[in-house]
Each structure stands twice: as structure tokens, then as C-alpha cells.
């Protein structure tokens, strides 16, 4: 405590040290722990011993029960928090993704994937795991040369470049981030594939075109619960009759939950991790047929752990660009998300979607072999 008093709890099997630097900080956390825990850390009101922030957050996560609230109440609060009109969506995305590109380059993999990787083993590097993820997505899309692909929420173009380079398709990537658009266009020119990769600053509700394949990675979290039906309907409209779509998203495997208020205020305004039931309900409102649903467990925890390690290793470079509060905010964000995927109800799911039978093989064997035949 600030006065030097030490309190010990538990059996000390895996000790962590929580140093409260301010009496005000502990009072604020006691009044509103969901918001003030992260906010007071940003302000320097408390500290965990070096290297122990993850462990401390994990200990808290496993010792505090989920808040008791009804499924109906959660849905109403989530709907109120995350009304994402087109105009608000542009603003929300800019808040997070228009952060200086150089900061993301310090902790992401060399190709700048900013979504869950796939580790064939925990020892895989983040670079290898992200390539694993891209290869899985490509197999599920059943690509053929010269197909047209829409990438909704394309980030800095990482997946688009992989699909063009390895599968000779033509990709259109759409984003709401000016910074991501700039980087993606520059990278396409640098790779010499601008003729096969184009990037647009446009919302999925504004874009009008037809594609052989549609992919969307970690975009659904930004859509807003009230827009799930619209989102899948737009995919249905833009997808060719014999097309395949793949939606990759974080998900809550329990009842729908409102987003943590600190995450909403400081990290992802307008963001919401859907429950699996939300995702299913959105698909049901469209003409799309679910042909494959895969659940990834622990994969995002391992991904976030790699990002956190790299982020902390580049502390001095980050402080040369941003201030201490920014560094502590992102450190807390990466650590608390890591622990949420390890100990809470968060998973990653991939939904493969079509309009008609016969497009996707009946057996999943084609997903298990790199060079498997993929004729339906």
C-alpha cells in the first residue's frame, strides 16, 4: 500500500506483487474496477513487479467471478454502447488504427498481420504462425488463379499480399483507416503487385461490386450488434452465386457480454466481441449457408503474448514516439487481452459461407493437406 503496509493473500503458490502507489487509485478501483483498473495503471497509480503484469492480471481474472447480469440486460447495454453508423465507424476505426504505423511495426510480425495467428506448436515464431493462418484461410477460400477477392477490413494489406503472391488472384481491400490505406498502397507498389492489389477507403455498406471470394478477418468485432444482419447481407449481395466467403472473428463462447468500459473508452470505441450466438443469428438473416465452423482455442493468447513481449522490448523506441501513458495503456491492453483469452470465455472462430451446395467439398480432408485436391 502507499504507506508501506503489506497484505498477503492466498497460498503463495505463484506469488505476484501488486504495489499501490496512490490511495486515490485503490479507492477508484474499489468504486469501479472495470474502468479504473486500466485507467489508474495508465496514470501510474499502481505497478506490478517487472515481468509480472500478465501474471497479476491472470490471478485477478481467475479469482473474480463474472458480473451477474441477465442475457437480456447484456444485449440492451451492448446495443446502446455500440451503435455504429457509417460516420461513427470511420471515427472509431481512426481512433485505433490511425496510430503511428511505426509503433505497430515494433511489435507485430514482419508482414504486419494484426489478428490472431495459428501456432501449429507453441514454439512457432509469430512470423511462422501468421503464415500458417494465411494458408488456412486460403485453403478455405478454395482459390483459383485470376479469381476476384474482396478483403473487408484489409488492415495494412498483409493477407491481400499473401493471396496475390501465392495464389495469383486479384484482391480489393477495403478499410476505414487512412493510415492503413496509405501503407497498403505503398506496400503494393513496393512489391510490384499494384495491378493485382487495389485498396479503397470505404465502408462495407458503401461498396458495390461482385466477387468470386470474400474474406473478412477481425472485422466483425467492429460492426456493432445491430449491424450483424446488414453485414452478412452485404456479403451475400457482393458474393458470386458460386462464391465462397470466410469470416474470421473473435467470439465469446458464453452469453453475450458488454465490452469492458476501459477497452471501449481507450482502445476500441464502438468495438464488441460477438457471442457465437450473435454470429449465427446474423448468418441466419442472410441467404448464406454455413459450411464450416472452426474454433481456435489459446491461439490468440499465444499471439498476444508474442506481441506483448516485443512491445515491452521496444519501450524506449515507443517512448520516443508517444508518452508514458500511451505505453502503459497499450501494455495493459495487450496483457489483459492475453489473460482474457487464456482464462475467460474468449475464442476465435472461422465461418465458411456459400450460397449453394456443391461449391465446397463435403469432406474436410482438403483442409488437412497443403496440396489436397479441392474439387467438390
**pLDDT tens track for 265-307:** 888 777 788 889 989 988 988 989 999 999 999 999 999 999 9
Q: What confidence tens digit (pLDDT) does each residue in 41-84 have?
A: 999 999 998 778 998 998 888 887 555 544 444 444 444 444 55
How far apart are the C-alpha atoms of 103 and 228, rounded to whole Å?
A: 31
How many Cβ atoms sit within 10 Å of the Cβ of residue 81? 17
Q: H or E stretch including 293?
A: strand 289-296
**How confident is the model over 327-337, as a mean pLDDT?**
94
pLDDT value at 97 more than 70: no
Under the banding of pLDDT at 50, 70 and 90, the label for residue 376 is very low
**Residue 108 carries which DSSP code?**
S
pLDDT value at residue 88: 57
> 188, 175, 195, 206: which is closest to 92 by C-alpha?
175
pLDDT value at residue 288: 96
Q: Quick one: cell of 242?
A: 458460386
pLDDT value at residue 253: 85
pLDDT value at 174 more than 90: yes
Question: pTM of whole model > 0.85?
Answer: yes
pLDDT value at residue 373: 37
pLDDT value at 316 more than 70: yes
pLDDT value at 260 more than 60: yes
Alpha-carbon distances, residue 323 vs 84, 275, 329 (angstroms): 30, 35, 10
Where would I find the beta strands (DSSP E) of 158-261? 170-175, 197-201, 211-217, 239-252
Average pLDDT, the chain: 88
Give the CATH architecture of domain 73-368: 3-Layer(aba) Sandwich (3.40)
How far apart are the C-alpha atoms of 88 and 144, rounded to whole Å?
A: 37
pLDDT value at residue 90: 52
pLDDT value at residue 257: 73
How far apart are the C-alpha atoms of 252 and 173, rounded to whole Å?
A: 27
pLDDT value at 194 more than 70: yes
How far apart are the C-alpha atoms of 376 and 79, rounded to whole Å?
A: 40
Please report, for the chain, the start and end positions of each structural domain, with discontinuous segments joined by +. 18-63, 73-368
pLDDT value at residue 13: 72
Under the banding of pLDDT at 50, 70 and 90, the label for residue 10 is confident
pLDDT value at residue 122: 82
- Per the DSSP assignment, residues forming a β-bridge with 295 are 349
Amino acid at each position: 500500500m502507499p504507506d508501506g503496509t503489506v497484505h498477503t493473500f492466498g497460498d503463495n503458490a505463484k506469488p505476484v506483487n501488486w504495489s499501490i502507489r496512490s490511495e486515490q487509485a485503490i479507492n477508484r478501483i474499489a468504486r469501479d474496477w472495470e474502468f479504473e483498473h486500466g485507467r489508474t495503471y495508465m496514470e501510474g497509480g499502481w505497478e506490478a513487479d517487472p515481468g509480472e503484469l500478465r501474471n497479476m492480471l491472470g490471478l485477478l481474472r481467475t479469482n473474480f467471478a463474472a458480473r451477474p447480469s441477465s442475457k437480456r440486460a447484456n444485449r440492451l447495454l451492448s446495443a446502446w454502447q455500440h451503435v455504429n453508423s457509417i460516420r461513427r465507424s470511420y471515427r472509431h476505426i481512426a481512433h485505433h488504427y490511425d496510430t503511428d504505423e511505426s509503433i505497430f511495426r515494433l511489435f507485430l510480425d514482419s508482414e504486419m498481420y494484426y489478428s490472431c495467428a495459428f501456432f501449429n506448436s507453441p514454439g512457432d515464431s509469430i512470423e511462422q504462425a501468421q503464415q500458417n493462418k494465411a494458408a488456412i484461410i486460403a485453403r478455405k477460400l478454395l482459390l483459383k488463379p485470376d479469381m476476384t477477392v474482396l478483403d473487408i477490413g484489409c488492415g495494412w494489406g498483409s493477407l491481400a499480399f499473401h493471396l496475390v503472391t501465392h495464389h495469383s488472384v486479384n484482391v480489393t481491400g477495403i478499410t476505414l483507416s487512412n493510415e492503413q490505406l496509405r501503407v497498403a498502397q505503398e506496400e503494393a507498389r513496393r512489391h510490384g503487385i499494384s495491378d493485382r492489389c487495389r485498396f479503397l477507403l470505404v465502408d462495407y455498406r458503401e461498396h458495390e461490386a461482385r466477387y468470386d471470394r470474400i474474406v473478412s478477418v477481425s472485422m466483425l468485432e467492429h460492426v456493432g450488434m445491430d449491424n450483424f444482419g446488414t453485414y452478412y447481407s452485404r456479403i451475400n449481395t457482393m458474393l458470386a452465386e458460386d462464391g465462397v466467403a470466410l469470416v474470421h472473428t473473435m467470439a465469446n463462447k458464453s452469453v453475450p457480454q458488454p465490452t469492458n468500459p476501459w477497452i471501449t473508452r481507450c482502445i476500441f470505441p464502438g468495438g464488441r466481441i460477438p457471442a457465437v450466438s450473435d454470429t449465427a443469428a446474423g448468418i441466419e438473416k442472410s441467404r448464406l449457408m454455413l459450411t464450416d465452423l472452426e474454433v481456435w482455442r489459446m491461439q490468440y493468447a499465444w499471439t498476444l503474448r508474442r506481441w506483448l513481449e516485443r512491445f515491452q522490448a521496444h519501450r524506449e523506441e515507443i517512448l520516443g514516439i508517444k508518452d508514458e501513458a500511451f505505453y502503459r495503456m497499450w501494455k495493459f491492453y495487450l496483457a489483459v487481452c492475453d489473460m482474457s483469452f487464456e482464462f475467460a470465455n474468449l475464442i476465435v472462430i472461422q465461418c465458411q459461407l456459400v450460397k449453394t451446395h456443391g461449391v465446397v467439398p463435403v469432406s474436410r480432408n482438403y483442409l488437412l493437406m497443403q496440396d489436397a485436391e479441392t474439387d467438390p
